[in-house]
Structure 1
Amino acid sequence: MAAIMASIKGQRREIGTKGKLNRLKKEGYVPGIVYGKTKEALPIAVNSRHINKIFSTYGFRGLFNLEIEGEEKPVTVLLREMQTHPVTKEMIHLDFFAIDMNEEITSEVPIVIAGEEEILKKGGILQLGVKEVEVECLPKDLPEAIICDISALDIGDHMTVGDLKAPAGVKIISDPDSIVVTILAPKVSEEETSPAEETESEA
């Protein structure tokens, strides 16, 4: 189960012209907005260094405490969308969704492969498919990841989303037929021939 991962510090901002947004960027801030079923949309700004450190440490998924300057209590949020510059990949806008801890949410959760060493012992090669699944659960039950244990698989086997085991209280709602991983046989070079083949060719 994943608890709230980290606190993000933000401040209110005024909606204005492109010039104001450029000034925010020059001052080292990323504009964003926080909204929810019971929360009116609120434009905010977060320090770019601060948010980059948070995301590089904890990732983009999971729950965060959003501490907004001037508000008494932090808001529990999910990152719903992150817009980035097409060339520099810098964050240019963030959308946060304020959640109710008593209502179910949907969120993307990464898949973590376990048991890879057993496959390598068998000479198998992993071909990975989907890397995330969408889950539905209460915020307190949101997992950091879904574990995909492949240790019992053999060459030629595969696992789908439907084969994954979700933690208690969590429902996986992604397409159950989507392939997560396939175990392939090792590739044999065309130059490699068996002793028997060499003998036959010499004859």
Structure 2
Amino acid sequence: MSPSDSYPTTPRTTPRRHKDRILRDRRVIHDILDAAFVCNLGFVADGHPAVLPLMYVRLGDAVYVHGSPGGRPLSAAGQGGLDVCLAVTSIDGFVLARAAFNHSLNYRCVIVHGLAHVVEDTALKRRMFHTLIEKVVPGRLADTRPLTERELATTTVLELALNEATARIRAGGPKDTPEDLALPHWAGTVPVMLTTGAPIPADGQRGDAHLPGYLTEVDLHFRSTVATT
């Protein structure tokens, strides 16, 4: 792997435990970020730690979140940037061991450290919104009213570069100790996946607003990209 294919190692991305689960491969990190929908953004506000769950999207080597300009992280970031830690996790399976102590989860996680900055470029903000909508439901953007300039102006977008990013992955079955292998308890992995249900129309739906094909012809479900057994 060439240096350009992976993100650099820094003191904040150097693990103390489970070093075998750490990956810095750019493609792996991008794939995990692109497959999930919600991140947890950690920061310090007024001297106290805070964490916010936010929708996000990746564009190139940066992650973008958005919200009201009056929100604590967004207003703080406008004062020269905000030091944050962003985490994204997808659960792929319940790992059931013979011993209670050895139960675990299969997961894919990305953690990013860095200074988040407010995006001033209107074209980039619009691209972020368009990409986010298409990420959630491909084909939806063309079936909506376009964003107005006012809507863009009243929404703050933060950009966090993936300069300090690592992936953490746990895959495979349980890891029982040798003395527990003869126990009569079932052990193995229960796969977990995110799926969509049947669309539910909104209140006041017009009679001529038919269910679009991108919701009926496409099987919208999101499966793990990492083997769970």
Structure 2 length-normalised TM:
0.22
Give the number of the structure whose residues are more often helix, by fraction.
2
Structure 1 length-normalised TM:
0.24
Give the number of the structure whose residues are more often strand, by fraction.
1
By relative contact order (CA 8 Å, sep 6+), the higher-ranking structure is: 2
